[in-house]
């Protein structure tokens, strides 16, 4: 899509993986590199969109011409996405958001105590940002896209997740050892709330990004 089919549009993309701190030096995190989200941001900008990229802990260079908002935790990601989504035509949640965070944060480094077993870590639920935005669109007609990494029954689990989250499109990919996380390439199926299934063959993350924007662009038209 070299044509500027997204000119005049504002799109919000989340990328990377949230980190949920336990103390000043430790966190619970995940293996998301941010590459897919950055590819989505770059391709949207190339197609003429104004792009806000909410970047959670991604060690990647800022894409040219993209407004990058760095965040750490899921709660911070939610604030930043909701703020940017207020006037957005599309929101694409490519970030790996922690489902849970530690219930408490220790202001000082947690220390081991001689002869004592460690304290268990209690987790609490994080807000589900995708479900929140999809269920109560900040802007009418906004297109909301989610990502889902599944290890088994990819299509059935993906279809159930699309419905549960209430989004318009869900990009489902199979993950496992050596697959997807940190890789340059991806393979996926994009499920639509209209029942559509768009297979995306193994290829660069930019190619998947362009297919996502094709489907978004069609829904905005």
Residues that bind ligand C5P (CB under 6 A): 14, 74, 93, 95, 97, 99, 126, 128-130, 146-148
- Known binder of ligand: residue 161? yes
Nearer to ligand C5P, 126 or 217 (CB): 126
- Known binder of ligand: residue 199? no
- Known binder of ligand: residue 112? no
As a whole number of angstroms, the distance between CA 106 and CA 24 comes to: 7
Nearer to ligand C5P, 75 or 110 (CB): 75
Q: Which residues are annotated as catalytic?
A: 30
Q: Shortest distance, CB of residue 97 to ligand C5P, whole angstroms?
A: 4
- Known binder of ligand: residue 128? yes
- Known binder of ligand: residue 99? yes
As a whole number of angstroms, the distance between CA 120 and CA 216 comes to: 44
Q: Shortest distance, CB of residue 143 to ligand C5P, whole angstroms?
A: 13
Q: Shortest distance, CB of residue 62 to ligand C5P, whole angstroms?
A: 20
Nearer to ligand C5P, 34 or 146 (CB): 146
Nearer to ligand C5P, 6 or 98 (CB): 98
Q: Shortest distance, CB of residue 6 to ligand C5P, whole angstroms?
A: 20
The answer to whether the CB of 58 falls within 8 A of the CB of 15 is yes
**Per the annotation, where are the binding residues for CTP?**
99, 109, 127-130, 147, 161, 165
């Amino acid at each position: 899509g070299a044509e500027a089919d997204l000119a005049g549009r504002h799109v919000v993309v989340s990328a990377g993986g949230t980190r949920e701190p336990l103390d000043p030096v430790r966190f619970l995190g995940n293996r998301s590199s941010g590459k897919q989200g950055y590819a989505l941001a770059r391709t949207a900008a190339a197609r003429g969109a104004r792009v806000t990229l909410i970047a959670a802990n991604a060690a990647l260079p800022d894409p040219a011409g993209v407004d990058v908002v760095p965040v750490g935790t899921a709660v911070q990601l939610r604030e930043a996405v909701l703020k940017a989504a207020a006037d957005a035509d599309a929101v694409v949640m490519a970030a790996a958001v922690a489902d849970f965070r530690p219930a408490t944060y220790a202001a000082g480094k947690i220390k081991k105590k001689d002869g004592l077993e460690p304290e268990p870590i209690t987790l609490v639920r994080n807000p589900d940002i995708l479900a929140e935005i999809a269920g109560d669109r900040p802007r009418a007609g906004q297109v909301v896209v989610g990502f889902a990494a599944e290890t088994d029954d990819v299509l059935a689990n993906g279809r159930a997740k699309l419905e549960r989250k209430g989004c318009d499109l869900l990009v489902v990919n199979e993950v496992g050892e050596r697959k997807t996380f940190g890789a340059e390439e991806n393979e996926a199926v994009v499920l639509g709330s209209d029942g559509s299934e768009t297979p995306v063959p193994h290829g660069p993350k930019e190619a998947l990004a362009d297919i996502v924007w094709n489907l978004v662009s069609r829904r905005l038209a």
